[in-house]
Structure 1
Amino acid sequence: MAAPSSQIDQLADRIERLLVRYEELQRTNALLQQQVDSLTQERESLKSRLSAARARVDALLERLPTLKNAA
C-alpha cells in the first residue's frame, strides 16, 4: 500500500495535469468559437451576395422578350 503522502502527491499531480488540460481546452474552445463567428459572418455575406445576384438575374430575365413576342 502506498504511503498517504505519496497518494496525496499523486492526486496533486493529477489535479495539476487536469487543470492544464482544462486551460488548453478553454483556449481551443475560444479559438473554435472565433472560427464559428468568422464563418457565420462569411456565410451571411455570401447569402447577401447570392440574393443580390439572383435579383440581378431576375431583372435581366424580365427584360428579355417573351417567347410569344419573339415568334
Structure 2
Amino acid sequence: MSQTPLIDQIAQRVEHLLLRHEELQRTNALLATQVQELTHERDLLKSRLGAARHRIDALIDRLPQGAEATTKDNA
C-alpha cells in the first residue's frame, strides 16, 4: 500500500515536468520568432545606414574642392 502514494507522487511530478516542458517549448518558439524579427529589422537598418552613407559620400564628392578651405577660413 505504501507504493501507491509514491507512484502517485512520481506521476504528478512527471505530469508537472511535461507541462513545464511544453511551456518552455512555447516560450522558446516565441523567443526564436522575436530573434528572427529583430535580426531582420537590424539588417534593414544596416542597409538603410549604408545607403545613407553612400548618399552622403556622393554629396561630399560633388562639393567643390575649395569649399572645404573656404568654410574653414570663415570659421
| TM-score (ref. length: structure 2) | 0.86
Aligned 1:16-35 pairs, distance under 5 A: 16-35=15-34
Q: State the percentage of identical aligned residues.
A: 59
Residue ranges of structure 2 left out of the alignment (5+ in a row): 71-75
Aligned 1:4-19 pairs, distance under 5 A: 4-19=3-18
CA deviation profile, 1:5-58 (whole Å, cap 9, x unmatched): 100000000000000000000000000000000000000000100000000000
Residue 69 of structure 1 deviates from its aligned partner by: 8.5
Between the aligned partners of 2:4 and 2:33, the Cα distance in structure 1 is: 43
Tell me what 2:73 maps to. none
Residue 18 of structure 1 aligns to a residue whose secondary structure is: helix
Q: Which amino acid aligns with 1:60?
A: L
With over 3 angstroms needed to count, the CA separation of the structure-2 counterparts of 1:28 and 1:68, relative to structure 1, is closer
Q: Write out the 4+ residue segments of structure 1 that deviate beyond 3 Å after TM superposition.
A: 67-71
Residue 65 of structure 1 deviates from its aligned partner by: 1.4
Residue 67 of structure 1 deviates from its aligned partner by: 3.3
Aligned length: 70
